[in-house]
Amino acid sequence: MNRPRDYADLARVDRTHVSLYTDPAVFHDEMERVFYRSWVYVAHDSEIPNPGDFKTTYIGLVPVIVTRGATGKVHVLINRCTHRGATVCPTEKGNADSFTCPYHGWQYAPDGRLVSVGLPKGYNDGEIDLAALGLREAAKVDSYRGILFASLLEVPDITLEQKLGGIRPVIDMYMDLSPAGEVLVGHSGVYKHPYHGNWKIQTEGSVEGYHAIFTHQTALDVMARKMGAFLRGFQNSGLKGRDVGYGNNVLEVYRLSDEQVHQRWPKQYIERLCDAHGERRAMQALRNRFNLVVFPNFAILEYQFRVIRPIEPDFTEVRIYHTTLKDAPA
């Protein structure tokens, strides 16, 4: 199809053309102009706490290994051997002193350095510049409250601090549900949900409240029976979505009264949270429930981290990690 280069005719205030969700050329542009040029979620600190810890994931369609080196520094390495492009690490997570390509035995340190090659005499009579042949690395890695982001672009358009701007207070409120101000991620594993649809459907659905009382009616009825009458008023709660800049969005799901807070949460937990953060901050965190999206691939919904992996224009995988509030009473 003939697309305007600026997409102005496809994305309007009052309507969106279906090709934005189906056209392979649009999908290609999204990878090049969004995923490969901006800050993308890759991991949480608690998933790789020790030197040698790693997990594999993706930045758009690019496979990467997120590792913690011997000095504690986090590296985001392109998961392709610099020799012939084979996958270096096929394992989803673990701890390793090195990564060895199964094709020709090239061995890399957790920080990406090439430390040895198989049959070295076969390469220029053994004259190999190991230092020049390490795994390619994401140009920038940064974090906020333990949430790790990477950028493939050497000079991102904005800093991570700028990118998170208006959504940082909401992330802070979520983290402050923990007495330690931290969450632990993925300790109960990961649930992978593939679906036949465009990746943007998940980003939109996470912070669009119109569908909830229809699509999730059965789940909401169960929650209301188990968690109290305040959820029965969900459909009348006036869900408010907010654009907080740079594609990031927040959906205010519901707000509890102080009485409802004490009905829902154990006394010991409330007291510990007040001791840690002060009563005002603790009650603010306990009263408010929200969904948030850090565009393009990361969402927090209740006690879940959701990571959106685009695979094809009409095929996506969502990885759901349950979080644990550090130092909260069992």
- pLDDT digits 0-9 by tens, 149-168: 999 988 777 899 999 999 99
CA dist 113 and 132 (Å) reads: 9
**What predicted TM-score, i.e. pTM, was given to this entire model?**
0.93
Give the pLDDT score at 230.
55
Q: Is the pLDDT of residue 4 over 60?
A: no
Here the tokens at position 169 are 């207070």
- pLDDT digits 0-9 by tens, 224-269: 776 665 555 454 555 788 999 999 999 988 788 888 899 889 999 9
Give the pLDDT score at 231.
58
Region(s) of the chain under CATH 3.90.380.10: 163-325
Q: Is the pLDDT of residue 177 over 60?
A: yes
Q: Which residue has the higher pLDDT, 187 or 173?
A: 173
Average pLDDT, the chain: 91
CA dist 103 and 254 (Å) reads: 53
Share of the chain above pLDDT 70, in %: 93
- pLDDT digits 0-9 by tens, 44-93: 999 999 999 999 999 999 999 999 999 999 999 999 999 999 999 999 99
| φ, ψ for residue 173, nearest 5 deg | -65, -40
Region(s) of the chain under CATH 2.102.10.10: 40-151
Give the pLDDT score at 305.
97
CA dist 86 and 105 (Å) reads: 11
DSSP-derived letter for residue 71 is T
Q: Which fold has domain 163-325?
A: Naphthalene 1,2-dioxygenase Alpha Subunit; Chain A, domain 1 (3.90.380)
Contact 65, 56 (CB under 8 A): yes
* Residue 325 binned pLDDT confidence (cut-offs 50, 70, 90): very high
Give CATH for domain 40-151: 2.102.10.10
* Residue 5 binned pLDDT confidence (cut-offs 50, 70, 90): low
Q: What is the largest CA-CA distance in the chain?
A: 77
Of 179, 186, 175, 183, the residue nearest 327 (C-alpha) = 179
Give the pLDDT score at 235.
46
- Say how far residue 70 (Cα) sits from the centre of its chain: 24
Here the tokens at position 87 are 């996958």
For residues 32-53, average pLDDT:
97
Of 313, 309, 306, the residue nearest 62 (C-alpha) = 309
